[in-house]
Amino acid sequence: MEPILLYDTTLRDGTQGENISFTAEEKLEIAKKLDHIGVHYIEGGWPGSNPRDVQFFDMAKRLKFQNARITAFGSTRRPGVDAADDKNLIALIESGTPSVTIFGKTWDLHVEQVMSNTLQENLAMIRESVEYLKANNREVIYDAEHFFDGYKANPDYALRTLIAAVDGGAETLVFCDTNGGSLPFEIEAVINKVQKDLADKYNTKTDSLPVKIGIHTHNDCGLAVANSLSAMNTGAVMVQGTINGYGERCGNADLTSIIPILCLKMNCSCMSVENLAKLKKLSRFISETANMIPLSSRPFVGKSAFAHKGGIHVSAIMKAPEAYEHMNPELVGNSRRVLISDLSGKSNVEYKAKELGVELDTSRFDSRKIVSEIKHLEQQGYQFDLADGSFKIMMEKFTEQFKPLFELKSFRVHIEKEKDCPCSSHATIKISVGDREEITAAEGRGPVSALDNALRKALEKFYVADLDSMRLVDFKVRVIDGREGTRARVRVLIESRDHDHIWGTVGVSEDIIEASWQALADSFQYKLAKKRGSRSRLET
């Protein structure tokens, strides 16, 4: 099989997803990451459609990409306009990219009913647009839009549109499932038939066609990845997609799934082992740049992709990981996680204790008793599978190893609302460290923010730990039993991070502020415990 070409369209098709937008500078940083990981083509945008994409291509000209060919995207010429006079095609040339991707209409419904065009003029638009780009020394990738729907409706005309692109000089034909409604067996059947028809047209064998075949799928039936792999299995050598599957409607084919499947399951050469191990970091980087919460259940790179909760499962993976894992998570830069909950068993606790560095003295502390304690706490509303920080502290307390780095004496939160003004929050806290006490006050955008700021100010008097690098990245509140109304217990989950780690903590109370304080305090205890050597201010 030929080496597979990875074509990333996160910067163009991905930005058509709801709530996703990148500045030109952000697009350039993403392009650098994609190039670094070994992507072959990076579609930067549509220079004929908006100033931001023009700015991106202007900046990209000044950089030297090591692996990727930066690609501009656009459409065929307009009806009745010479290719050399078409503003869209001129913008593609002016973008300065070595490769250009243009799309054209394959489905006669779009040609006649949507565009009010003629079938013959559409064929001329495709051929002449490709010829113009080739005359300007560009590699041309032709996206056959709505190809599978068009082929089902009128296979003879759909094939003629492909022949027009090939005759114009296109190097690659990309079959697009634009509406995302095709099924894997349909993809295979159509591509097999089209390859045979093209071979007959050009009097050659299907494995010697004068053009490469590519695939571009959408996820409206949840089959974008499966459809892409079906095309690969049928002879396509270019796969288009986006990182994290971002895209219009239900999204595009997710390259974070396609790449490891091609490399590890189908033995297709498309990325080095070293670069494959960077995949999770790339996924997280693009999620954060897009300001989208990473999907925990995303295959391969998601936080939960290799997470184990059931006690039987954990017991098995401690002996043989392949018993419940289809691959080594480290191959894609991920890691195995064992979750703690009321479904946990003795194996979960022992695995988690080792992972978090908590010593279990089996002569004094039975892991089964810890399991029992966990189940009791979860009945009260605690949830430890998302709160490693609180779980570590809980285990240390249960085994009499916990040494608090600060203790709360009291806190007071004041919320003030004036007419036509947003609420303001003020917090005063009193903590002790050893035999010393500290009282501090701070403001915040809300009561938890005010408590966070006040606690930071107090701890800075005692510790030289880099608390500035620590920030709260997620805050969730859940009513545990709504039947109690305003007296119901609530669970607060906080996710915090610094330069190197992400950790979660949990608090439960009938008072939302108290539950928030529990989770917040655990988060700081966990952070400071990692820096136990930072107690120099107190010691001096």
At 98-133, the pLDDT tens digits run 999 999 999 999 999 999 999 999 999 999 999 999
**What pLDDT, on the 0 to 100 scale, is given for residue 356?**
76
Within a domain: 331: no
**Which of 271, 293, 324 is a domain's end point?**
271
Task: From 206, 140, 137, 209, select the one nearest 169 (Cα to Cα).
Answer: 140
Within a domain: 207: yes
Residue 411: which CATH number? 3.30.160.270
**For the residues 227-247, what does the mean pLDDT come to?**
97
Within a domain: 321: no
**Which of 247, 271, 295 is a domain's end point?**
271
Within a domain: 350: no
Task: Say which amino acid occupies 27.
Answer: K
**For the residues 18-38, what does the mean pLDDT come to?**
94
Structure-token pair, residue 397: 């307390």
Average pLDDT, the chain: 89
**Which of 271, 300, 317 is a domain's end point?**
271
Containing structural domain, residue 230? 5-271
Angle, CA of 329, 330 and 332, to the nearest 5°: 80
- Phi and psi torsions of 42, nearest 5°: -125, 110
For residues 328 and 355, which has the higher predicted lDDT (pLDDT)? Answer: 328
Angle, CA of 484, 485 and 489, to the nearest 5°: 60
- Assess whether pLDDT exceeds 80 at residue 29: yes
At 260-295, the pLDDT tens digits run 999 999 998 899 999 999 999 999 899 888 988 889
Q: Is the Cβ–Cβ distance between 151 and 158 less than 8 Å?
A: yes
**What pLDDT, on the 0 to 100 scale, is given for residue 532?**
58
- Assess whether pLDDT exceeds 80 at residue 303: yes
Within a domain: 336: no
- Phi and psi torsions of 513, nearest 5°: -70, -40
Strand ranges for 339-463 from DSSP E? 407-416, 424-433, 436-444
Within a domain: 203: yes
Structure-token pair, residue 318: 């401690």
**What pLDDT, on the 0 to 100 scale, is given for residue 536?**
43
Total structural domains within the chain: 2
Stretch among 133-142, 199-208, 346-355 having the lowest mean pLDDT: 346-355
**Do 266 and 414 fall within a single domain?**
no
Residues 6+ apart with CB under 8 A from 323: 313, 316, 317
Distance CA 245, CA 363 (A): 50
**What pLDDT, on the 0 to 100 scale, is given for residue 126?**
97
At 355-394, the pLDDT tens digits run 777 777 655 666 777 777 777 787 778 877 778 888 888 8
- Phi and psi torsions of 207, nearest 5°: -90, 10
Task: From 515, 472, 512, select the one nearest 495 (Cα to Cα).
Answer: 472
Within a domain: 182: yes
Residues 6+ apart with CB under 8 A from 411: 427, 428, 429, 430, 451, 454, 517
Residue 48: which CATH number? 3.20.20.70
Q: Is the Cβ–Cβ distance between 113 and 122 less than 8 Å?
A: no
Within a domain: 330: no
Distance CA 487, CA 394 (A): 26
